[in-house]
Structure 1
Amino acid sequence: MATGQRTVLQFAPSSTSAAKVQPLVIFNICDCYVRRPDQAERVIGTLLGSVLLDGTVDIRNSYVVPHNEFSDQVALDIEYHQTMLKSHLKVNPQEVIVGWFSTGLGVTGGSALIHEFYSREVSNPVHLTVDTGFKNGEVDILKTAMVDKLPGDLDGMEVLTERLVALINDVYKYVDDVVEGRVAPDNNIGRFLSDTVASLPKLSPPAVDKLINDNLQDQLLMLYLSSITRTQLSLAEKLNTAAQII
């Protein structure tokens, strides 16, 4: 089954009729393709996610599996695959294997062997192929959203604060117009504003500053921990690949 012009989803006959791919998966596959060994023509790997109640396969994560490919024969690093699977399950135990991916347009002679392997891992695996050569067109999302740098937590907080100030000014103007008789009062809006004000906790300015600073520190800590986790996984991947070469 084809979705769009750049990504192909292929299924064996079953009740599964649809799949959705999170953007992180596509970017991860492209990154693995860029960092592939010089002699490798394509990269393959495992897809993780879950099957929703309506039968849709939700693909949320992925990791590359080292392999050697020649003619119609494929040799997968099964030990590396199992190690990476255990590592991912420790972080996201709710995710399971839902299929596999490969780069390039369409399938090759060795794809049937790989699909057979993943069929032993999970019934009816999804095969996702990503056109890294852009033979079916260009990936617009990669070129239209160009920015000098990624926004940080402070930038996001600044945008939210500006938006909050703008909303407060709108409310202030509306209330002032109603009091001065320039706008007819609306009881529904009045009750909504009253409930909103009543729901706000009574905090002093120092308490609000402390609350914001504590929240910011928690976010920075999470970013630090996630960075350490990514570094550890990347290091484990490189060490396992080097061990296979040795």
Structure 2
Amino acid sequence: MAVLQFFPPFSPVVSAKIHAVVLFNICDCYVRRPDQADRVIGTLLGSVSDGVVEIKNSYAVPHNESADQVALDVDYHRNMYLSHLKVNPKEVLVGWFSTGFGVSGGSALIHEFYVKELKEAQSSIPPIHLTVDTRFKNGEASIKVDILKTTAVDKLPNDLEGMEASMERLYSLLDEIYKYVDDVVEGRVTPNNDIGRFLADTLASVPRMSTAAFDKVFNDKIQDNLALVYLSSLVKTQLGIAEKLNTAAQIL
């Protein structure tokens, strides 16, 4: 049985235990894959207890994928899942697996599907993504488990929106760090030396400056961004006028 730890510790999942039969089944599915398939994906089943996910079973799910789309046999997945629940109701959906090295372009779409499946199953954890490198370079296969975060972006943010999003993310991270440090001080959480050193190094890398100096740097940056937005708007307007004048000249 393989045991993998998760980082950072703010995730609801601390570690994952993978039974050997799961890895054997994934490799077997890869060997038996259709000739045109580059990789095999499938569903992971197991149990969750005290932040530890135990991956006990798996089955492959037929799919087709290209550079920009993925077709997953949803009915097959759900029928197989219901059949497994009848045999062993304690083995619930915990995530999905894929063969190959790393995460491909279609992985995000597949992960979104399993996010919805776990939400419908009222799971308390995000889906686990297990990748198994079946190239067997040097006679070895690499295994990686990760928890992917879902992201939905309708449009690329401009400089001001990007700065606002970054500040909101920074505040959120500071709140998480404050809570973790407070829990350690109060004895609610066992201290982690690696995290302590990381926080110490991070604080040591921040330059010392007064509040007035920080406000000046921050306001100067905002003014620069506003100037860039204004100049970009002027250039866009000039290009639009030039295009209309050129079109009118060609008509005349």
TM-score (norm 1): 0.50
1:115 matched residue in structure 2: 111
State the 1:15 CA deviation. 1.6
2:46 matched residue in structure 1: 49
Q: Which amino acid aligns with 1:109?
A: G
State the 1:14 CA deviation. 2.4
Change (3 A) 1:18 1:9: closer
User: How many Å separate the matches in 1 of 2:91 and 2:137?
Assistant: 32
Secondary structure in structure 1 of the residue aligned to 2:47: strand
1:94 matched residue in structure 2: 90
User: How many Å separate the matches in 1 of 2:108 and 2:130?
Assistant: 13
Alignment pair present for 1:20 and 2:17: yes
User: How many Å separate the matches in 1 of 2:51 and 2:58?
Assistant: 20
Cα contact 1:74–1:110 (8 A) shared by 2:
yes
The correspondence of residues 76-225 of structure 1 with structure 2, limited to 5 A, is 76-122=72-118, 123-135=125-137, 138-139=140-141
User: How many Å separate the matches in 2 of 1:116 and 1:36?
Assistant: 23
TM-score (norm 2): 0.49
2:180 matched residue in structure 1: none
2:71 matched residue in structure 1: 75
Q: Which amino acid aligns with 2:35?
A: D
Q: Which amino acid aligns with 2:21?
A: L
Q: Which amino acid aligns with 1:70?
A: S
Change (3 A) 1:58 1:11: farther
Cα contact 1:104–1:129 (8 A) shared by 2:
yes
State the 1:8 CA deviation. 11
User: How many Å separate the matches in 2 of 1:126 and 1:11?
Assistant: 15
- 1:46-95 per-residue CA deviation (whole Å, 9 max, x = no partner) reads 0000102x211000000000000111311100000011001111111111
- 1:141-171 per-residue CA deviation (whole Å, 9 max, x = no partner) reads xxxxxxxxxxxxxxxxxxxxxxxxxxxxxxx
State the 1:23 CA deviation. 0.2
State the 1:12 CA deviation. 11
Structure 2: segments with no counterpart, 5+ residues: 119-124, 143-252
Q: CA RMSD in A?
A: 2.8
User: Where in structure 1 do 4 or more consecutive aligned residues deviate above 3 Å?
Assistant: 7-13
User: How many Å separate the matches in 2 of 1:12 and 1:102?
Assistant: 25
Cα contact 2:62–2:72 (8 A) shared by 1:
yes
Structure 1: segments with no counterpart, 5+ residues: 141-246
Aligned residues: 135
2:35 matched residue in structure 1: 38
2:26 matched residue in structure 1: 29
